[in-house]
Amino acid sequence: MKITALSEVKAMDGFLAEHGLSFLLEADGQQVLFDTGASDIFLKNAEKMGIDLQAVPTVVLSHGHWDHGDGLPFMQDKKLVCHPGCFVRRYRRQGSENLGLALSREDLEKRYSLQSSRTPFQLTEHLLFLGEIPRKNDFEARETPYILEGGEEDFILDDSGLVYLGEKGLVIVSGCAHAGICNMIDHAVELTGIHRVEAVIGGFHLKKMDATTLSTIDYLRERKVNRILPSHCTKDPALEAFHRTFGRNEVKAGGEYLF
């Protein structure tokens, strides 16, 4: 499988960066676009690389946050795969700006063939949408800085990801891992029955060098994950801890990553 980063917080020379995430996955002779970033930057970077995104039939949305789905208005006439909870209005506790998607479910249904599911399903022969991630461990997804429109706590239950069943083991692809990257890995292992995890790539939503970050590092060590590529919403204190422990594997817009 090949992953091309089209939107990221850092970029290769000559490419554009933003606070967003968009990956193009090529697996089993098929292409799947995972998230669309916060703007049309994913399209501009793809054009620089000679990639025709109009030919990609399927878009997967990891969760309903603006920095992963506000590129959706710039495309149409494709299948859109996501959790049914992606379409709510959501906010920070101390803020009034909607962090959800720019387009409503009704708007998106006019532009895309929408397939929403809480349960996992197959995208290609070896690539699966994970559906809703069970939150089982005692150190991830225990608190949230977000609320829903009615004032209820928003734990981003729509958070999902992808798993690729590779020859060397599983490759986990995360948008933000609001459910916890370790919970996501455990779910992928349970779903596939494959215990070897070759790689994890994407946002880990870890901000600090704290107990959660240390527990995540311990977990990944114990799992003996070969390649660990945290990006996007993994902030510098946590990111440096991963780099010190596992080596500096940076994900940048314009970069290509083979698994």
Say if residues 58 and 79 touch (Cβ distance below 8 Å): yes
What's the pTM value of the predicted model, to 2 decimals?
Answer: 0.97
68-115 pLDDT, tens digit per residue, is: 999 999 999 999 999 999 999 999 998 889 999 999 999 999 999 999
Q: Which of 191, 187, 200 is nearest to 160 (CA)?
A: 187
Q: Which of 63, 86, 91 is nearest to 184 (CA)?
A: 63
Q: Where are the domains of the chain?
A: 2-251
17-34 pLDDT, tens digit per residue, is: 999 999 999 999 999 999
Q: In CATH, what class is 2-251?
A: alpha beta
- How far apart are the C-alpha atoms of 131 and 91, rounded to whole Å? 23
